[in-house]
């Protein structure tokens, strides 16, 4: 994995799609935590989650104390995360999804507050490229909130639409979820200095956007 940021306390890597973060979330032999550990030659401590299908910025702490500090920063809303997603449909140009969700994997659990801001970046006929930044951290929040808007993510086998996923597999060769963690921005828990970490869009997603634009369907929101 490409290392996007590293100092004595934190490391950020560019996680590929298809790789789980932690063995606690998967039974895979290889997970991002062990890959990062082997690359760095030291233990790493997960401080947030990316779904297996999501690529992009993944942050680890390099000590238990820093992991605790980072968990507190996430809980307090001091960490800004941004994503790019391709969705079915054309959502409003920008807005806030304020829709409570179960906090974990149990769909019958009591729902808690969940909020995601979004901005429509580009339209390709019946599909849209959307930037999203979750204000809370519920399981599958971005994916569930876009489904709530009737704009499910392309490649999402849990919350998406099979016919659209098949179209993108067959026509464009997309065999993954179109969700990429583009940026994490936070005050460093030791120094207070702003840390701004950016992951370039995964190659296969960039190629898809190029193909969609070549089809002549692209249009951007008016300035």
Q: How far apart are CA 134 and CA 146, in angstroms?
A: 11
Whether 14 sits among the annotated catalytic residues: the reply is no
Q: How far apart are CA 211 and CA 217, in angstroms?
A: 10
Q: Which of 9, 51, 196, 203 is catalytic?
A: 51
Nearest to 130 by CA among 182, 174, 78: 182
Report DSSP letters for 108-162, one per residue. TSPPB--EEEEEEEEEETTEEEEEEEESS--TTHHHHHHHHTT-PBTT-TTTS-H
First to last CA, the chain: 36
Give the residue numbers annotated as catalytic, written as ranges: 51
């Amino acid at each position: 994995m490409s290392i996007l940021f590293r100092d004595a306390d934190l490391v950020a890597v560019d996680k590929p799609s298809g790789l789980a973060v932690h063995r606690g979330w998967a039974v895979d032999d290889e997970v991002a935590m062990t890959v990062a550990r082997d690359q760095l030659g030291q233990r790493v401590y997960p401080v947030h989650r990316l779904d297996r299908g999501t690529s992009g910025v993944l942050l680890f702490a390099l000590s238990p104390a820093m992991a605790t500090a980072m968990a507190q920063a996430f809980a307090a809303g001091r960490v800004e995360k941004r994503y790019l997603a391709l969705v079915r449909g054309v959502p409003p140009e920008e807005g806030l999804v304020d829709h409570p969700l179960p906090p974990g994997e149990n769909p019958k659990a009591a729902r808690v507050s969940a909020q995601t801001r979004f901005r429509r970046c580009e339209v390709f006929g019946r599909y849209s490229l959307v930037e999203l930044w979750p204000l809370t951290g519920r399981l599958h929040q971005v994916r569930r909130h876009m489904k709530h808007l009737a704009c499910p993510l392309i490649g999402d086998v849990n919350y998406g639409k099979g016919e659209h996923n098949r179209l993108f597999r067959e026509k464009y060769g997309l065999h993954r979820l179109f969700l990429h963690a583009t940026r994490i921005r936070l005050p460093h828990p030791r120094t207070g200095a702003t840390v701004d970490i950016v992951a370039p869009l995964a190659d296969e997603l960039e190629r898809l956007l190029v193909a969609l634009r070549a089809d002549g369907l692209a249009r951007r929101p008016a300035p």
